Structure formats: structure tokens, C-alpha cells
Amino acid sequence: MLLFPFRAQIKLHQWPVMTIAVAAVCLLIYAAQSQSDRRIEAHAQRVCAEFAAAGGEDAARGYRFGRWTITCEQMLLHMHYDPRPAQHLEWHLDNLTRRGEAAAAERLRAQYRAFAERAPAPLTARLWHDRARFDPVGMITSSFAHGSWGHVFFNLIFFFAFAAAVELILGPVLFLGMIVALSLGIGVFDHVISHWQGDPIPSLGLSGVVMGMLALFVYFLPRAKIRFFFWFMLSFGAIGIPAWLVALWYVGWDLFYELSRLGGTTNFVAHLAGAALGLALGIGLFREKRHWARELVEEQVDLTQDESWLRRLNGLMVGPAVAGFAFLAGVLLILLVIAFIQSFWLQLLLVAPAVAAGYYLHRSRRRDRPTRDVYRLGVEALARHDYGEAIKHLAPLAQANDTRALFALGRLYATASGAQRNEPEALRLYTRAAERDHAEAQYALGTFYADGRGVAANPLKAAEWYEKAATRGIAEAANSLGRLYENGIGVSADREKAIEWYYRAAVAFKKTGRREDAEAVIRHLDSLARQYPAVLGLVTRLRQTLATAGK
């Protein structure tokens, strides 16, 4: 079964500049690695050709190890790319001598001496992480180096699928910091495990960071779907899979391959460490960003077209693929249980990050509890119209840029009576909260600009803030935005966009149980959407679900 991710179903409101930059750096670095490798390979070919010309058939003969025969060129490159080539050479010479092939050992010594005298230093060796020694620089540079064009392309496709959303949530600076932190954390863990396992093979590639980005993506948006191209027997197409299930799938197979030792030279320890560290960083550092990240989940509906035949065909193809996926998931679970029981060190591998994540979660909750209590007291005072008490609790939190407190204090100054009412101050507080992606504050700010409260009326700014709030699920904002597009207020009149936003408003009103508001929007949609059969069908189904919910 083939599953190939190509994008996350999220709203990218801006270009993921840092994600694209990381991808470009990886491509440029591997291009330089490839050029360096070609120079070394050409030198190995020249040395082997010279020995073959001078020594005849014996000099051209390869070296046999078990069932394998390794050519002169392969042997030279094999040793040259080892972190300790001199020791590796001595091991091969000793092996050949013990097998009674002293002449072959001397020939190999002479060939490697001639090769090493003029061989260029491999760029890859300067970038990889030598797991046998503690090398922080190598831990970072190895994340951007790769072993082949296929390696780099596949890593970057997976990286973009998950990292673009993480960058949108964290911002480019924090996002870059996470890449560095993941690289260092994975490298340290890998260094320790390599000593434990006695496995000094160097490591390189972005896959550990990719798994860390997947873990962060799942922490922020566990229910967001990742679009995959699938191919299972005779069925193929595209399917959206929830991010949490994607993470379990990849982590599960990484665990299996690491336990069973069937993964060849792939460094599954780095994959598992990246996933664990990404989750720990999300829990420990970014809990406050999680509440609004969910609103990035994309829920697009084509309002002007009926369902295409291609989409219906894809729906038919999905059934066999889901069945195959479920079967493989069951097999994986059985294999993991068996392997886990047999492997004590992996239990420690899982327990350590789980304990760390639990500690960070506990500590962050303890740190957040006093803030929550103070905010609750402020909101309760605001509900009693005890404005002085509310300001006493909320003002310090607002000064610390707590978005909830900024919005609550803005609402106080916007709705209070008498001397406490201060619309310019409410505008300032709403702006600060809205700039920190507080959806209700964005809607409130839109109404201020639409009505000219505390500021000159500006329908264009109102539309901008309404759209930000509407995309985060605020029904009133979607309804207001639909009205602006319908009447061409601050934006160009556009009936299709008006219909889209009215439809979103109706759905949001329905989800929050506001039946009367939803019915009012539906009635208005009926009058606007006569020439759009697909819309009328959606509205009919929406009305039916609303009626069913009310029974």
C-alpha cells in the first residue's frame, strides 16, 4: 500500500517563507554534496584503472566478502566515507590476511594509499553527525545534508506537508528555533543511544526534524486532515487522514523497524527522538498557541458547482484503501506488541520522553493556574457590573498581553455606562487582542471600524477583520462579511462571495445551537442563491439537519 502526503488541509494565510527557505538550503547543500561525490568517484576510478593497467588481471580483480564481491572502486569509496578510514582499512586487511589472501591485502593497502594521497575530502563527511562523538555543529548541519536525491526530495515533501502549518502558528523566528532545538535534541539522544547500541554509523537527513514537525502539527491540530495520494491494489486517489492517525502510523512503523532491525541503515532512533521531542516542546512551550490553531482547519465547500465525476470516482476508490489501511494497522499493532515485549531498551526509550512531557504539562498547568483564577475573578466581576473590581483583576493580565484579559477589558470599556465607558481604550485593547489572533476581538474590532466607534469609519478595515474572525468560526463575523459583499460596502460587490460567507454563518450558528439566527440566514440565502443549484442543495440539507436537530 502506498501513502504519499502532498498537503495539509489548512488555511495558509501567508507564504511559509522559512519552510521554503529550509527546503531550498537542503537542495543547494545536496547539490554541492553530489558534486563533491562525483569528484571523489572519478578519482577512485582513475586509481583503480591505473592499478589494473599496471598489474593485469589480479589487480583488476575485486575483493570477496562472504557472498559479495566488492570492486576496487567500491572498496575505496566504502573506506573513504567511513568516519575512521584508517581503522576501517586495517580491519579489512586483517580480515583478508586471516583468510589466507595476503597478496590481496597488500594490493588493497597500496590501492588505498595511492587513492588517499590525492582524494578530495568528502563534503558529506564534514556535514554528517558522527554519532560516536558529541558534536553540536554536526548535529545541526546533518539535518540539512542527505544521502541521495531521492532522500532529499522525499524528506522535503513530508517536511512541507507538516512544517508549513507549524511555521504559520509559531512565526518564522520561533519556527527556525524549533528546527535548531530539534536538531540538537535529536543529536544528543542519538549520541547516547549509539553508545548504548554500539552503532557508530554517521547520521544525516531531515527526517528526524520532519517527525518533530509532525508531532508539533498533531499537538496543535490533531483533527486537521493530511491529504494523501493512495494506491492500494487497483484503487488509487486522494484521501484526507486525521493528523493524529498519521502520527500513530509513522511512529508505529518506525518502532517496528527499529525493534526488528529490518530498516537497513535508516536511523529510526532519530525519527522516534524527533517525534518525542516535538511533542514535548509543544506541551512545554506552546500551550497558549493551541487554542486558536484549530481555527486554521480548512473546510472548503464549492458553492457554485455540483460534485464532479472525478470526486465521485475518488469516493468509490477510498473504500478498499481504508480497508487495506485498517488491515495493515492491525498487523502493525500485533507486531509492535510482540517486539515491545522482547525489547527492554525501547521501553526506556518510550518512558523517558513520556515522563518529560508529563512533567512539562504538569509544570505548565501549575504555572497557568493562578492566571486562570485571576481571569475568572475578573470575568465574574464584569458579569456583576462591578467594573472597578474587574479592572483590578484584568488590567495586570492585559499588561502582560494575556489575550483573554485584553478582550474582556476591551469589552468592559466598550459596554460600560457612565465614566467607565471609553471606546478609544476599548479599540486599543481589542486591537492588541486581535493582533494576537483572538477571534472575538477581531470581530469586535471589525464592528468598531464598520460603525466608526472610537475611530473614523473604515469599511475596508472592517472587512479585513471580519474575514479573520469568520475564518476562525465567528458566525456574526461571517454574516457581517456576507452583508458587505452583498452590498459592496468597503469591498467590491460579489454575490458568490456573499453567498459563501452567509452559508458559513448559517453553519456556525447551527453548530453553536442558535437556531433562530441560522434560520434567518438560511431564509436570506434562499433569496440570493436561485441561480446556484449546488448552493440550494446545500441550503436544503442544512435546513433539514437544523430541523432534525430541533426534534
pLDDT tens, 428-483? Answer: 999 999 998 899 999 999 999 998 888 889 999 999 999 999 888 899 999 999 99
pTM of this prediction exceeds 0.85: no
What is the rounded average pLDDT of the residues 531-540?
A: 69
Tell me which DSSP letter residue 419 carries.
Answer: G
Of 349, 389, 82, nearest to 196 (Cα)? Answer: 349
On the question of pLDDT at 550 being above 60, the answer is no
- CATH assignment, 2-15+130-294+311-360: 1.20.1540
CA-based radius of gyration for the chain: 31
Q: Report how far residue 39's alpha carbon sits from residue 80's, in angstroms, rounded to the nearest whole number.
A: 13
Contact yes or no for 163/19 (Cβ under 8 A): yes
- The mean of the pLDDT values for the chain is 81
**Torsion (CA) 535, 536, 539, 545 in degrees, nearest 10:** -120
Question: How would residue 92 be classed by pLDDT, with cut points 50, 70 and 90?
Answer: confident
Q: What is the pLDDT of residue 493?
A: 87
Q: What is the pLDDT of residue 56?
A: 59
Query: Burial of 103 by CB count in 10 Å (0-12 exposed, 13-18 middle, 19+ buried)?
Result: exposed
313 is written with which cell numbers?
470516482
> At 65, phi and psi to the nearest 5?
-135, 105
262 is written with which cell numbers?
529490518
Where in the chain do CATH 1.20.1540 domains reside? 2-15+130-294+311-360
On the question of pLDDT at 20 being above 80, the answer is yes
**Torsion (CA) 3, 4, 6, 10 in degrees, nearest 10:** 30
Question: How would residue 334 be classed by pLDDT, with cut points 50, 70 and 90?
Answer: confident
Q: Which residue has 493512495 as its cell numbers?
A: 230
Percent of the chain scoring above 70 in pLDDT: 78
Looking at 81-206, list the stretches that DSSP marks H as alpha helix, in order from N- to C-terminal side.
85-98, 102-118, 123-127, 136-144, 149-170, 172-197
> At 181, phi and psi to the nearest 5?
-65, -40
Q: Report how far residue 228's alpha carbon sits from residue 157's, in angstroms, rounded to the nearest whole number.
A: 11
What is the rounded average pLDDT of the residues 164-191?
A: 90
Q: Report how far residue 385's alpha carbon sits from residue 412's, in angstroms, rounded to the nearest whole number.
A: 9
CB-CB neighbours of 493 under 10 Å: 12
> At 143, phi and psi to the nearest 5?
-65, -25
83 is written with which cell numbers?
568516519
462 vs 22, 130, 291, 479, 507, CA distance in Å?
36, 56, 24, 13, 22
Chain centroid to CA 166: 5
The more confidently predicted of residues 226 and 9 is: 226
What is the rounded average pLDDT of the residues 304-319?
A: 52
Q: Which residue has 558534486 as its cell numbers?
A: 35
Mapping DSSP to helix (H, G, I), strand (E, B) and coil, where does residue 68 land?
A: strand
CB-CB neighbours of 374 under 10 Å: 17
Mapping DSSP to helix (H, G, I), strand (E, B) and coil, where does residue 131 land?
A: coil
